[in-house]
Every structure is written in C-alpha cells, then in structure tokens.
Homo-oligomer: A and B are copies of this chain.
Amino acid sequence: MAGSSFGNILKITTWGESHGKGIGVVVDGCPAGIELSEEDIQIYLDRRKPGQSRYTTQRNESDAVEILSGIFEGKTTGTPISMVIFNQDQKSRDYSEIASYYRPGHADYTFDTKYGFRDYRGGGRSSGRETIGRVAAGAIAAKLLKQLGITCTTYTRSIGPVEIQSFDADAICDNPLYMPDASAARKAQEYLETCMKNQDSSGGIIECIIQGIPAGIGDPVFEKLDANLAKAIFSIGAVKGFEIGDGFDAAKANGSTNNDSFCITKTGAIGKSTNHSGGILGGMSDGSPIVFRTAVKPTPSISSLQKTVSQSGEEIEISIHGRHDPVIVPRAVVVVESMALLTIADAMLLNMAAKSDDVCRFYKK
C-alpha cells in the first residue's frame, strides 16, 4: 500500500533509502506566497545531522538539501515542493554478513516477510535517514505556523533513568542531548558513556510543547488532533509510547483533580487555570499549549553479543558493528517536532471551512 504520504491539505510524500542515491520529500498543498529558501530547510536538517557529538553516528554526511521545484522568486507557488538530499557517505562495504541474518529489534525480518526480500544496506528504507524528508518538510510547516504565531519547543526529557529536574529553554541547545537542564544533561552523558563501555544503548523520552494554537483546531471524531499527533509521532521508528497532558498519570487520577477549570484571563478571554488536558479537549485544541511526550526505545544496533536467526534458518550469535548512535533520542527531537508541526499545520488549513459564516465571508472578501 502507498504508505509514504502523510497529511490531507498539506501532504508530504517521502522516499529514499539509507544507501540509495538519496533521500527526499515532496511537500504538496503548501499555501502559496511563503518566503522559503534552502537555508530555511537546512537549519532544521542540521539539527538531526550525524556526527555532531560522541552520541550520534559518526557517518559523515553534510545532508545538504536541494529544492527542485515549487519555489519561484523566493516564494512558495502552491505547487509541490520537491526536495532531495543526496547520500554521500554510503560506505561501499561488504553487506553480505548483515544480509545473512535478522538483526534483533530491527525491521529486517518483517521487511523480508512482507516483501519477499529487502534492501539490507544500512537498513534500507527503515533506516533513520528516512526521517530526513520529514524534517525538511517540517521546516516548511514551521515557517507557515510561525506566521500564525505558533511556536514549538521540543527537547529530551529523559535518557534512560536520568530525567530532567528543571526547565531552562536556553539550555536545550547548550548540550548535545538537547536537555533543558544542564545538570541532568551531564548525568545523562555519564550514563551514556557507561552504556557505550558496555557496548549497549539507551532509550529516552522526548517532550514537545506547542504554543499559540487557537482553540477549535482538530475534529471531533476520528480526526481528533491528538489522534493525528499520536499517529504522526508513532510513525517515527523506535517510538513505543505517546501521551498527552497528564497522559498515563491521568489513569490514576480523579475527575476532581484531572479536570481543568475554565477561567477568565487577564485579557478577558476564556482560558484554563490548569492544563492537565495537554491543550486538547474532545479532539480539538482548547487554547492552552499542547504538551505531549513520546517514549523512544534504545538503539537496537549494539555491538554486544546477541542471539538471532540466520536467513537460512539457523540460530546464531551476532555482534553488530558499524556507526550507530548509542541513543536515538537527541537526533529524534527535531523529527518529533517536525511531525507535530506538520500535523498542526494540516489541521489548521482544514479548519478554515468549519463554519458557514467563515466560508461566506471568505468568498465575499
């Protein structure tokens, strides 16, 4: 099935494999007239670029984006924006070993079962490099939403057992783990050093806060804004959990503590005195910041010994070598942000036709 597209009015289609010619995305349905340059995209891509710290793969890629269509005189034209990032460092090493067995925690076995064979070079389509297209598209959504006063802060909430104890937005970019707590970041780095020494890897949690969304975005039933966020985030490889607002803690709560009281804010508008809901009620934004968390599993590629099965059906022991991140979380931060922004942007464009009065006003302008 055609599963490489996401979105309705603003729709992206990604393509590409880890060791193919490149990775790309077509962004269709972007409103016309937005100023957009390759630099706008590159800023986002650089946030997930490999080789930036000890904790990310040492694969040497500049991941430079090239825009092939959809821009004229520096602005989006309303037609599809095609972007490509050509692969540079596809080491032409011998893949016969990796081709011969199923790596635990990877999609080797499921790909083979579904399609009859697989592009085993560097994980093929299931490589983390697939997310490059998402990030390039996310940069466009970010630009569109910024015009509407919507901003997004995404960061690492925890690495393994190390969770942030304080929040300083300025600290996020001061450490390679994107943690808003310098002290936690130090402890997390120590933890990762231990993991690496043990030829092991770690999971973690990413948190995302979206501010400035007006109330009423999203739809009441199957196209709830939180449902689409959940799908968007769960479509990222290695994600194992998603929660919004109080999330799993809400399951232990009472109505009296979980409900957010409505109040009148200083500006005279309707607001909420708390935000247990995480900014969404009945599938529609409630005017408070949208807050969600996502659980990321440990990098499955580890060099310590593992049991598995060979393609010929024998039980074997393997040790995976190569350039692997000991933790996926820091580089996934911008991927999570990108998917969230794409989801929000699409929902906002769809929302324009919700009221008959708005439709009439639009066409009588």
Closest B residue, CB atoms, query A297? B250
- For the complex formed, measure the closest distance between the CB of A22 and the CB atoms of chain B, giving whole angstroms: 5
- Once bound together, how far apart are the Cα atoms of A327 and B252, in whole Å? 11
Closest B residue, CB atoms, query A347? B1
Stoichiometry, as copies per complex, reads 4
- Once bound together, how far apart are the Cα atoms of A282 and B217, in whole Å? 30
- For the complex formed, measure the closest distance between the CB of A112 and the CB atoms of chain B, giving whole angstroms: 8
- Once bound together, how far apart are the Cα atoms of A106 and B360, in whole Å? 29
Partner of A254, one of B126, B247, B298, B354: B298
- For the complex formed, measure the closest distance between the CB of A194 and the CB atoms of chain B, giving whole angstroms: 10
- For the complex formed, measure the closest distance between the CB of A120 and the CB atoms of chain B, giving whole angstroms: 8
Question: Is A63 among interface residues, defined by CB-CB distance under 8 A?
Answer: no
- Once bound together, how far apart are the Cα atoms of A28 and B78, in whole Å? 22
Say yes or no: A77 contacts B115, CB within 8 Å: yes
| Complex interface: chain B residues within 8 A of A220 (CB) | 3, 79, 107, 111, 125-126
Say yes or no: B5 contacts A254, CB within 8 Å: no
| Complex interface: chain B residues within 8 A of A224 (CB) | 3, 234-235
Say yes or no: B5 contacts A263, CB within 8 Å: no
Interface residues in A273-303 by Cβ distance below 8 A to B read 273, 277-278, 281-287, 295-302
Say yes or no: A259 contacts B300, CB within 8 Å: yes
Say yes or no: A355 contacts B31, CB within 8 Å: yes
- For the complex formed, measure the closest distance between the CB of A129 and the CB atoms of chain B, giving whole angstroms: 11
Question: Is A34 among interface residues, defined by CB-CB distance under 8 A?
Answer: yes
Say yes or no: B110 contacts A282, CB within 8 Å: yes
Question: Is A322 among interface residues, defined by CB-CB distance under 8 A?
Answer: no
- Once bound together, how far apart are the Cα atoms of A283 and B208, in whole Å? 23
- Once bound together, how far apart are the Cα atoms of A307 and B260, in whole Å? 9
Nearest 8 interchain pairs by C-beta: A107-B282, A3-B219, A3-B223, A2-B29, A114-B216, A2-B11, A241-B243, A231-B231
Partner of A250, one of B82, B203, B355: B203
| Complex interface: chain B residues within 8 A of A295 (CB) | 243, 247-251
Partner of A9, one of B1, B82, B297: B1
Interface residues in A211-270 by Cβ distance below 8 A to B read 214-217, 219-224, 226-235, 237, 239-256, 258-264, 268, 270
A98-121 vs B, Cβ < 8 Å mask (1 yes, 0 no): 000010111101110111111101
Question: Is A304 among interface residues, defined by CB-CB distance under 8 A?
Answer: yes
